[in-house]
């Protein structure tokens, strides 16, 4: 039989022929064994957990492409099981004496092994602060051979780095949900000329690919961004979605100075971080000492709560982050394969190899543009041109592999089908554990009680008082109430609306206030309900949020026995 697709004759047993169609003058056939392969390719994999799915997809579909085109030599080492199984990690980066170690101490509410705090550059090592049953320190060389830790590939940075890398383990409730990476203070001025003995920016880039959140800390007293710090921030390119900025020690300057410092910081970051969006900056004083200048206490408390909420959400979003990072890696690996195969295709087989190599490296930008046009790839998916050119100098371009469509098809199939099924699994896991948040330490300090954020303010005002808080202003509200022509002690919705719209609040907000105030749901307001409505309008006008349900202390005294 002749197969038109393969342009070949086949000798096939009769029982293997599933269907024969004759279209003169060519015979087209479909073999049962071909159909099975096609169906298998189109059906997405079925996984029990997101972690298991990510590991299998990486090993079976993405890793073969990476190995074939030397992806690990150019970009990032191969991923291991621990990279998919580890807890969310938070990376702290900043110049010396910006409060990185104090920030960790503040979150944990206890010291950790190897901790040193001082105004001089005290932290000279990378410290992975992780959960352990007992306190202890694991040195770097032992850490990179532990298959349960996600640090094995760091051995590529050599002893100079491993001698400056430790893992501090301790039992702490915060560390049951996340791990924190403390980094050496980034040097400025003459200090940055002293070689560290390893590629500091490359190490940070390695961590940036694997962590869930990157926190850049700045000291309100010294905003200068040194050359090394600028290089580090540029190395974090493509991870802008993970970056948060903290302007620390903000209690040490007056409000007017703080406004100027904040503006200067945003201006400096705008020159380095090349994104159209404004990076989120949290302002505060993240240590357990009294505020030196307490004028902005409420601002600091609100900013702290926002930052804590962001960190607390990491365990719930960890699976989605790993899935997102795998997709980014797959896109880069595909582009890398096109680049390598294009260079291989242009290389001569015998003479003039060196000259051609120099020519190809010099014209790599044109190769980028050609690949971009041919394969409809976004310019943002390509690796840094200058870095790629430098790396190609030490490579033998003749040993590169030609384009292998099957490897690329496997990755495309993963992105088109398998990732979609994993997304469904991610949502299922999120709904199964809605309370997966960071607990303990500073995160529990303001959850309940009078020191919780906003306690006794806005709708919470009067929560501890025996008297109804609305009663203070009720005489003034009563005067307005009796001008609205009440009938049988109540004003109609139309009359109440005439007064309520004077607040200039949107109808959606006023509608919510009406629902909260109309406790007996009769479509009218008596004097207590009218006073309550005005109190809630005042709460909103003062900048506070309205409660979704009316708090017990705001229910008028005469209505407190009405069953819900």
pLDDT, one tens digit per residue, over 205-263 is 899 988 999 999 998 887 777 777 888 887 787 788 888 999 999 988 899 999 999 98
Q: What is the mean pLDDT of residues 382-407?
A: 90
How far lies 240's CA from each of 243, 440, 454, in Å? 5, 28, 31
Confidence of residue 564 (pLDDT cuts 50, 70, 90): very low
Mean pLDDT within 489-513? 91
pLDDT at 336 over 90: yes
Task: For residues 302-320, give the mean pLDDT.
Answer: 89
- Nearest of 373, 250, 226 to residue 301 by alpha carbon: 250
279 versus 331: which is more confidently predicted?
331
Q: What whole-number distance in Å separates Cα of residue 90 and Cα of residue 210?
A: 10
Alpha-carbon span 309 to 437, nearest angstrom: 9
| pTM recorded for the entire structure | 0.74
Predicted local distance difference test score (pLDDT) of residue 455: 67
Asked if residue 412 has pLDDT above 60, the reply is yes
Tell me if 261 sits within 8 A of 244, measured CB to CB.
no
Query: What is the tens place of the pLDDT at every residue in 472-490?
Result: 999 999 999 999 888 999 9
**pLDDT value for 35:** 46
Question: Which pLDDT score is estimated for 120?
Answer: 53
Higher pLDDT residue, 48 or 184?
Answer: 184
Q: How confident is the model at residue 60 (pLDDT cuts 50, 70, 90)?
A: very high
Residue 34's pLDDT is 45
- Could you tell me the maximum CA-CA distance found in the chain, to the nearest angstrom? 105
How far apart, in whole angstroms, are the C-alpha atoms of residue 44 and residue 56?
12
Tell me the average pLDDT of the chain: 83
Q: Can you tell me the distance from the alpha carbon of 563 to that of 261, in angstroms, rounded to the nearest whole number?
A: 54
Residue 437 exposed, middle or buried by CB count within 10 Å (0-12, 13-18, 19+): middle
Euclidean distance between CA atoms 265 and 245, whole angstroms: 10
Helix, strand or coil, per DSSP, at residue 471: helix
Helices (H), 44-137: 50-57, 63-68, 71-74, 81-85, 100-108
Judged by average pLDDT, the poorest of 300-304, 314-318, 456-460 is: 456-460
Q: Tell me what the mean pLDDT of segment 443-462 comes to.
A: 68
From CA 339, how far away is CA 366, in angstroms rounded?
Answer: 11
The pLDDT value recorded for residue 450 is: 58
Helix intervals (H) in 188-313: 200-210, 227-235, 255-272, 297-312
Burial 171-210 (b: 16+ CB within 10 A, else e): ebebbebbbbbbbbbbbbeeebeeeeebebeebbbbbbbb
Confidence (pLDDT) at 39: 44
Q: Are 427 and 94 in contact (CB under 8 A)?
A: no
Q: CA 158 to CA 144: how far, in whole Å?
A: 11
Neighbouring CB atoms inside 10 A of 55's CB total 18
Please tell me whether residue 254 adopts helix, strand or coil conformation: coil
Q: Out of 255-269, 428-442, 513-527, which region has the weakest mean confidence (pLDDT)?
A: 428-442
Report the pLDDT value the prediction gives residue 480, as an integer from 0 to 100.
92
Q: What is the pLDDT of residue 316?
A: 84
162, 154 Cβ separation under 8 angstroms: yes
pLDDT at 329: 92
Answer yes or no: is pLDDT of 429 > 60: yes
Q: What is the pLDDT of residue 195?
A: 65
Instruction: For residue 215, give Cα distances in angstroms to 246, 259, 400, 483.
Output: 7, 21, 39, 57
């Amino acid at each position: 039989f002749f197969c038109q697709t393969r342009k070949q004759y086949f000798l096939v047993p009769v029982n293997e022929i599933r269907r024969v169609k004759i279209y003169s003058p060519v015979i087209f056939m479909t073999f049962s064994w071909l159909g099975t392969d096609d169906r298998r390719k189109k059906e997405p994999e079925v996984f029990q957990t997101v972690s298991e799915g990510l590991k299998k997809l990486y090993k079976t579909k993405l890793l073969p492409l990476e190995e074939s085109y030397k992806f690990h030599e150019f970009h990032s080492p191969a991923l291991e099981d621990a990279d998919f199984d580890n807890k969310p990690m938070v990376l702290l980066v900043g110049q010396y004496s910006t409060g990185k170690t104090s920030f960790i101490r503040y979150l944990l509410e206890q010291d950790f092994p190897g901790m040193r705090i001082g105004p001089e550059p005290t932290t000279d090592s990378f410290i992975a602060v992780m959960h352990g049953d007992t306190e202890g320190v694991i040195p770097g060389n032992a850490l990179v051979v532990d298959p349960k830790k996600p640090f094995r590939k760091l051995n590529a940075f050599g002893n100079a780095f491993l001698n400056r890398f430790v893992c501090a383990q301790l039992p702490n409730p915060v560390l049951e949900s996340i791990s924190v990476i403390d980094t050496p203070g980034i040097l400025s001025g003459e200090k940055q000329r002293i070689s560290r003995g390893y590629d500091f920016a490359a190490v940070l880039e390695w961590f940036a690919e694997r962590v869930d959140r990157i926190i850049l800390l700045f000291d309100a007293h010294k905003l200068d961004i040194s050359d090394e710090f600028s290089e580090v921030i540029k190395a974090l390119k493509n991870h802008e979605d993970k970056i948060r900025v903290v302007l620390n020690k903000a209690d040490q300057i007056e409000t007017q100075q703080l406004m100027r410092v904040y503006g200067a910081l945003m201006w400096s970051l705008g020159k380095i971080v090349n994104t159209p969006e404004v990076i989120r900056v949290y302002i505060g004083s993240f240590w357990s000492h009294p505020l030196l200048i307490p004028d902005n206490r409420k601002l600091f408390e609100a900013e702290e709560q926002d930052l804590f909420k962001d960190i607390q959400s990491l365990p719930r979003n960890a699976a989605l982050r790993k899935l997102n990072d795998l997709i980014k890696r797959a896109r880069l690996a595909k582009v890398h394969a096109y680049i390598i195969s294009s260079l291989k295709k242009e290389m001569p087989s015998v003479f003039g190899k060196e000259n051609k190599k120099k020519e190809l490296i010099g014209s790599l930008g044109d190769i980028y543009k050609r690949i971009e046009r041919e394969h409809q790839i976004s310019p943002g998916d390509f690796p840094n041109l200058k870095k790629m050119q430098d790396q190609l100098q030490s490579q033998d371009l003749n040993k590169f592999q030609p384009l292998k469509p099957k490897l690329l098809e496997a990755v495309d199939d993963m992105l088109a089908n398998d990732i979609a099924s994993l997304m469904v699994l991610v949502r299922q896991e999120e709904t199964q554990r809605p309370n997966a948040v960071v607990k303990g330490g500073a995160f529990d300090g303001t959850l309940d009680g009078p020191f919780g954020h906003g306690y006794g303010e806005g709708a919470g005002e009067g929560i501890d008082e025996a008297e109804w808080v609305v009663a203070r202003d009720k005489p003034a509200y009563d005067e307005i109430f009796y001008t609205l022509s009440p009938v049988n002690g109540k004003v109609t919705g139309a009359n109440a609306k005439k007064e309520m719209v004077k607040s200039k609040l949107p109808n959606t907000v006023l509608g919510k206030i009406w629902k909260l105030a109309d406790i007996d749901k009769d479509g009218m307001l008596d004097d207590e309900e009218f006073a309550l409505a005005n109190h809630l309008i005042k709460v909103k006008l003062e900048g506070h949020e309205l409660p979704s349900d009316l708090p017990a202390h705001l229910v008028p005294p005469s209505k407190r026995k009405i069953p819900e």
